[in-house]
Amino acid sequence: MRTALLIAFLLLSDFCQAQRFKEWFRQKKTQKEYLIEQIAQYKIYLELLEKGYKIAKEGLTTIHDIKSGEFKLHKNYMDSLRIVSTQVGSYKKIQFIESLYSKIKAITASSENRLGKSAYLNNEELVYVKGVYGRLLQDCERITDALKDVTRDGPLSMSDDERFKRIDLFYAQMQSNYSFAKAFSSEAMVLAASRLREADDIKIRRAINDAQ
């Protein structure tokens, strides 16, 4: 009887031990599957992070490329405004301005020379005439210097339309200076001529008085 009980106890112990091992292996398997699942999820997370970083990087690169392209286009446009087109360079009013300036210089030089030799204007009047002509020529030089900046590459960023308008303005200013040079020179010569007539009248009256 004891032997039968002992055998039964041992069999029961083995069964319980087997159940514990089975449960232990089942738990280990469950943990392993859980770990595998966690690793898989972590891998997916890393892949998503990598894709997100790649998208962000590509987005920043695209933005940079767009900005760089816009800056380049803007720079090219601004650089093009510094180049004088053939249409502007061949504008006839440029030559007209230069021609008027030459005529003004000729008028002032001739007037100063003739008035200086006439002896019918006093020194104060001659100084005044020279001062007027000097300021007039300075203004003409200002116009021609500004014209050079508008009609050559580099100094100014301007569209063709802006350059044409500026040249038109210079032409109007030079025309005004030319008209003034002619009028002032004519008035100065009239004054000298009137002094000459006065001197002649005085000589004639003296001659008449002497004859009497």
Domain ranges of the chain: 1-81, 86-211
More confident residue, 62 or 181: 181
Interval 83-142: pLDDT, tens: 888 898 899 999 999 999 999 999 999 999 998 887 778 889 899 999 999 999 999 999
pLDDT at 9 over 50: no
Alpha-helical segments (H) within the chain = 2-81, 86-89, 92-118, 123-150, 160-211
95 vs 69, more confident: 95
Q: Is the pLDDT of residue 153 over 50?
A: yes
Q: At what angle do helices 123-150 and 160-211 cross, to 10 degrees?
A: 160
What is the Rg, in whole angstroms, of the alpha carbon atoms belonging to the chain?
A: 52
Whether residue 8 has pLDDT greater than 50: no
Q: How many CB atoms lie within 10 A of CB 86?
A: 7
| pLDDT for position 11 | 45
Residue 129 and residue 191 in contact, taking contact as beta carbons nearer than 8 Å? no
How confident is the model at residue 117, as a pLDDT?
83
Percent of the chain with pLDDT over 90: 34
Q: What is the pLDDT of residues 16-40, one digit of tens each?
A: 554 554 554 565 556 656 566 666 6
pLDDT for res 158: 84
